[in-house]
Structure 1
Amino acid sequence: MEDQRKTKAQLINELTMLREKFDELLKTKSGHGKTEEKVQEREERSSLLMETGSEWIWEIDRDAICTYCSSTIKNLLGYEPEDVVGKKVFDLMPTDEAERMTSLLSHISKSRKPFSGLEIVTLHKAGYRIVLEISGAPVFDKKKRFLGYRGAAHDFAERKHVEEKLRSTKNYLRTVFNNVYDAIFVHDLNGKVIDVNDKLLEIYRVPREDATKLHIVPDYSAPENSLEELPFLWKKVLAGEDQFFEWKAKRPKDGSEFDVEVFLTRLSLPEGDFVLANVRDITERKRVEAALRESEERFRGIASSLPGIVFQYYARDDGERGVYFVDERSIDVFGVSAHPLQDFISRFNDYIVPEDREKWDDSIEKAVRSVSPWNVEVRFIKPTGEEMYARGISQPRRLKNEVVWNGILFDITARKRAEKSLQEAHDKLELRVRERTAQLQSAYNSLAENERLYRNLFENASIGMFQTTVEGNRFLRINSTLAAMLGYDSPEEVMSTVTDTVTQVHTDPKHYNDLRAALEHDDWCYAEQPYVRKDGSIMIGKLALRKVLNSDGTAAYLEGIVEDITERKRSEEALRQAEAKYRAIFENAVMGIYQSTPDGRYVAVNSAFAGIFGYGSPQEMIRAVTDIGGQVYVNPDERIRLREFLNEHGIVKKFEAQVYRKDGTTGWISINARAVRDTEGATAYFEGTIEDISARKQAEEELRITHQRLFDIIEFLPDATFVIDGEKKVVAWNLACEEMTGVKKEAIMGKGDYAYAIPFYGERRPLLIDYVTMDSDELEQKYMEVKRTGHLLFAQTFVPALHNGKGAFLSGNATPLFDRTGKVIGAIESLRDITEFKRLETQLLQAQKLEAIGTLAGGIAHDFNNILTGIVGFAEMVKEDTTPDTPNYHRLGLVLKGAYRGRDLVRQILTFSRQTDHEQKPVALGDIVGEGLKLLRPILPTTVEIRSKNATDDDTVLADPAQIHQVLMNLCTNSAHAMKKKGGLLEIGITRERFKKDDRLPSPDMKQGDYVMLKVRDTGCGMKPEILERIFDPFFTTKAQGEGTGLGLSVVHGIVKSHAGALKVESEPGKGSVFSIYLPKIERQTRTAADETLPLKGGKECILFVDDEDLLVELNHERLTRLGYEVVATTSSIEALELFGREPRKFHLVITDYTMPHMTGVAFAKELLKVRKDIPIILCTGHNDSISADKAKKLGIREFLLKPISQQDTAAAIRRVLDGKPAVQRSPG
């Protein structure tokens, strides 16, 4: 008891045990159990509606997984309930604490016992430690199967406050221990005394140090004749059997003996097991009992001397009726034995004449109710059949919880008979009656004297008793119980301290005086009123007050009894407040609250509940609805399902049902309810709350319809479109997506973990849709042309897995999807196959590049051809003037040969750059290859050796030279790229191949016949089979980014197909590659006589010649003059137009350059034709990209010549025009 280091749990257990034992010893009873149960029940109901308080309420299952968590955890640990429910409670603890609690909780669970005061270390959500104190109790189901634990936890900071309170309580209990009325020994299990209270020291007259040296055997103070019983009793106590007995005690010092009443019990406390001996000095009680027995004997003697049968009757407040005493002469007078007393009343009543029994019972009940004198006469039939008259009289008295009277039953048979037969003896009989009455009064006086003998019980009553003056302002007598109630140590202290009870004890003197005044006409007055204690606190007492009279009828004093009902009043007030609180919550709650019977009637509903169903008041709804399932539920089976679920599980949450309103319309409600059971476990009623969710249901339906519309729109969008939710699972996959990927929506819907990327990339990886809500460097690396506008993200990329692994270029748009609060709940992406667009775009870029090259080549050709024209023209004239046998003649031939080679080179450049001219015509494949190799040699690495061989002189094919150039360039540059690291050999060969009927063709696209084969072979790295299968796919390339478009070989394949040819590829890794192109052979074109060089032929006509180059004007002036023509030459088209305008008929022919300043040749020709429509015109140009021969002819131009123009071509063209012969169209290539 003195160990300050005891744990909280030990202190709580110790205090609990001591309270129980002191309650037993003091024989106090609590009358407030039921009230407290009601308070608890009300508070449990209220907790369903509000989750308040500072403690964290928790539930765990047998595996320590949290199944319930109150919201107060957020105040303690910072977590939301949903963060904790479903997890092990050990997850909230540091590792070392979790290990400790795992072992400890396992031990507690095995015990299946409650626990309290357990200290645990937890982790706040912010990371710091918090010490909590927890308590819990096991939870079982209906079959008593262990489910887990339920309990509460609070901040250990409160513990100090509790410990302080416990220390205070401990001191208080120690004070009580020392000041209790009885003496107390505390023994160890061997019988040694280890503690005693002050009362023991008083009654045994020993100092504390001597008392604690005693031992139960053999030192226990007792007379010799009772020591032999003690070991036997001690063994029983140690075995757990409490012992209660009377004992002769002996004081150790003087050997004096005294009577005691002993209660022995074994206590199990945290500190160990002890034996508690409660010893009460009953010496005075024994003396009183002896006196009482003596008084009783005298009483019995008096009773036996009275003429009637004396009895003592009681009527208790709980309805019990009986007798405490019946005169033994009852058997003689009435034939009814006095024993047993328990059924005397019923036995006696059986012999009362039935007609008088009601009068008998009514008289008793009236006397009990009013505590008024009892006087009744009835007829009685003895067991022998003899009829007699009996009369009963008494004066009832109200005691604590019963009405008691000492009465007499007279046999008045003789009197009644005398009244009938001896009317004349009336006076004498009356006299005898008065005499008998005097005797009775004497008996009453004797009884009063006997009552005084019982007043020694006054001090030992368990309720307060007192006597005051008639004025009520001064105590005459007061017992110890009332003194203790008022906070005084003894009745003597009260008597000496309280000099005016009206002002010092009663808080309302007027009320007490009014009560006292009521005694003038009432025997007893009753009231509940406050009393002032010694310390100023208030006690609520239940008072019964009466006036006691002297024998002469004057008031002698007032006496009363007081019962301390402070705790009961406090409990009643708590119950009233709880009921008021619950009622206020019930009436004012915004949610619907109800109670209903299992068979389908509402017991109670609040206004919100009635309003949800369209009723004006709760009363209206309760009266109207007599069958909840049939009248309220649209589907009555839902009510049955709810009832069965509650009966089985006890509680239901968020149960949704469609219901009828008062006006017949329907709505939706969400129900939270529980089953309230009676003491036997049967369902008494259901109670819970409802929420009107009609608007939410309607919104959900509208949202579902809206979603369906949106998904329908998405379904038929032309672009491949899919949608993912917040967990990156596919929720929409339209038809275009199915067609693009070949994946049906049934196979992809609901899939996550980047499953939607597999059809595009062949692996799980983020797509554009995943980057809409984040910034990532990967986005720029994985996508082309990335553009973000607000939440919209646009990009292009090549996906390799589409179209059975051929891949495709896609453009995509992606954007996040938001809910009403702005939270991202998913994303949508639409995709478009832009492979064809990319191919056309690349071709366009290629064409634009070639066009730029062509423009450059055209400019070069124009100027270069002008230069070559001068060189060729003057060289030809000099050669004509030189005899063949001179050295200069040979040298001039070399000059002309070089000029012609320059002319051919310009034509090759023009041919390569001319991409729009796809005219197929008979060409010698070897010539085209030869021209192409001249262009290739400068651009290939020097580490690549080029070898070419034409094995046939019959290599004529129908082809477009420019496209065949492109095929050769693409194949050779690819081969050079394959050899760029180590170098190698590039071989180009031309052979003639013939395939007969039974020959195996290199390609299924070929037919039997003659072909010219172009073979390009390299000694590069070669290709793997899987690469070889895809080399002709558009955009497929093995080159690094920026080194190729992936269109080269696909263009080659297309060109070969357009020429009715075939393409064969052979390659092995490390052994190089061979590309063989087969083109159908045609017959070689033979030259006609017209193609042979003809003698120069001139004329006498006048020719107007115009060119902006002085050199060419001078050259052609001399050249045409030599041919005999009259020549007017100028470098200005404006001047020439003026000359022609002055004399249009003078000129027979006009020769003009195409490209001139101020006015082009075409514009100049148009002006000439305006002046003279029939004027013949020859147009000369360095290249023909700007105007074709056909276009020139439509403008009225007769001939179209390409520079450089030889003297032979010039003379022939002039004569054709002047002689009216058809023009000869010459290709630049």
Structure 2
Amino acid sequence: MQIVDFKELNENLTFFLKAHKIIFQENSLDKACAKLCQEIGKRPEYKLVSLILVAEKSFFYVCSDKETEHKLGLWFKENKEKLEKNGCPIEKYFQDNNFLEFTLTNLIPEIDFLKDILNVEIKKIYIFPLKIEDNYQGVLLLGVDREISQLKISLYLNFIQILTLVVINYYFKNKEENLHAKIKKQEIYIQKLFSQMPLGVIYVELPERSIGFVNDYFCKLLGYKKEELEGKSSRILYFSEEEFLEFGDKVYPLLESRDYLNLYSLIFRTKNNQKVEVNLTISAEREQGKLKSVMAFVQDVSFRKEVLNQLNEAVVILDREKRTVVDLNKRCLELFEVGYLEVLNQRIDRKVFYDFRDRDFILEKINQDQEINNYEMLMRSYKGRVFTGLLSVKKVFWEGSEYLLILIRDISEFKALQNMLGQAQKMESLGLLAGGIAHDFNNILTIILGFAELGLKHLQDSSRVKKYLENILTTGDRSKKLIQQLLTFSRQKMGEDRYPLEVSPVIKEQLKLLRDTLPSIIDLRESISSQALVRTNPTELQQILLNLVTNAYQALQKTGGIIEVSLVDVKAEQGLREEDFYLPSGNYVCLVVEDNGPGIPSEYLPHIFEPFFTTKKQGTGMGLAIVASIVKGIGGYFWANNKKEGGAIFKIYLPVFEEVGTGIKTEEQTSFKKLPKELPGLNVLLVDDIKEVLEVTTYSLQELGLTVNPFQYPREALDFFEKNYDQIDLAILDLSMPEINGKELALKFRGIKPQLPIIFLTDYTDLLDEQEAKELQALFLQKPIKLEELEKNILLLLGGK
């Protein structure tokens, strides 16, 4: 299969059309030939172009290089008699060849004189014969500095046949009896030539836009016979009237001011309604200054375009000087949401850059002849969609002209994932920080609240001091709730187990409660359609909804407004992208909470899910952070933004539980014996590595009538237990301790006394979860704990003793 360079073909067809116009528009042979030599000589590889014509034994010659033309003239003058007598000296060499090819070192004797005439830069000489019937009328001589392609050779062979019409016209115009027959014969030859060309040719008459001529290749390309096209409207080539009119409105006006036009990636309709993608090279014909007709060469580029359109990158080619679009692929049209003819031969740099500073930077680099590789920036489609693009620009040369090859990759999805990863890493770090704060603060609260409670219990007749201590306890309770929020955010709080749960009933019930508590100026609306299951628990769902609705209410509490809550199923088969957010493929339940308030300031949006971030005087900054933590724990995704019409919108995507045969878990019942009424006389082993916590817990247990054996160091406690285990009724252990943690110490105790009752106290840890505590038949209590709760749980554990 022959590989065709379509760019080269296009350029040569353009030259072919120009030569065609020159031949038939000039009134004198010398002017026509001079212009032809000049036109061919514009191409950088041609160092010499010469036309040598002979008629009735007289010679005419013209060269693109005047010095060579002068030398050639001297040679003709010296050899005039010989040439007039013998005719063309190389005629015999064309009997078996369509053209001759030489280097300066292997010239045939008849033209050996060219060594002294031609420029040393010339590496090869091509000679094409001009023949009328069986008579040779001259040659076209090309001197080049490189080999020329077979495509160009083929075109020059075709071109030389057109040139014979000039010779007929100029040299036989006074012989009317021969002129008509010869021209008619040559025209038949030219039509045959067009029909056999390996590309389509179409001639369209204006203004009717009727098809005057098509060649065989064009008919084969579209599946028609010639008689089905010639004489018909060119509307037959288009899929719709709109496409037909658009071509006329946008393309033909361009030909009013130019002779030639290259169009890329046009779609024609075949006879069986299939698409074929073509490139066109169009030549304009005028009469009295008005556009009369066009002739176009049609290249089938479907295969090449199919390959180009399979690329994920958008590809666009610009004219470097004009900055106008020469060609672009399908992905580029999709990315910028624009039609092909809308941007063809137009500048797009004023449309596609979100920030003109990026455009100025890129143009500066181009003007400095610098390549651009993977430049990241925001871009805008013709419909206003903003996305993150990765742009590369390379300057390319083609037939003496400069173009810009531009590749653009939409990395919005990657950036969204990158931002989500960065946010997750930041939230994880903040979670560790929050957990650390909770650890220290819980121990401090345990000390403060413990001593305050003991002080209040032993207070005698001092109403003022009693009030002070009660205030300490009240404030401590609020602080305890804040710590619980921190622990929830850091995912260390041991809450309810997760199990397959239908989301909608929980949301509906919570909305009823919220509707009763919101003021009348707030219109709370709901639209619940999902019935899917999610692995979660009611508490988590309630916390999510409560925080989101509270957040919306706070934005509306002064002016009133609407809060809309919806629950829908979302199937993201190929993933889902929403501006800077990307949702992986899967099935989700989407909880949407939106309001018509003032919205969220853009500078706050990246931070609203961070802990402690708040713009409210009395806010803790933990509400949305808790939402984020719960959603991530469930394996879901969250997203927030402002609506175009005003207000904020929050979307929570929770993965649907799709396993078959798993029932909904019910709350386990605890089977303890009947609780005793008193605790006095029990012997307790207490271990906590923080001295002040150990002290206040000891006092609290003694207040309940227990005998306490307190130890700050686990190893000392273990030594004591090994010697006195039969006297110990209960062990109360802090979980987070150095050297030996609470869980390890409990296992050592159980190795000595298997039935020993154990209570774990924790401020913050991941060493033990609630299920492990149950397996150890131990209780799991969160610091700080009130004296009353401590007593209740000891009774619960020791029930019946």
TM superposition score normalised by structure 2: 0.46
TM superposition score normalised by structure 1: 0.32
Task: Point out which structure has higher relative CO (alpha carbons under 8 A, 6+ apart).
Answer: 2
Q: Which has the larger radius of gyration?
A: 1
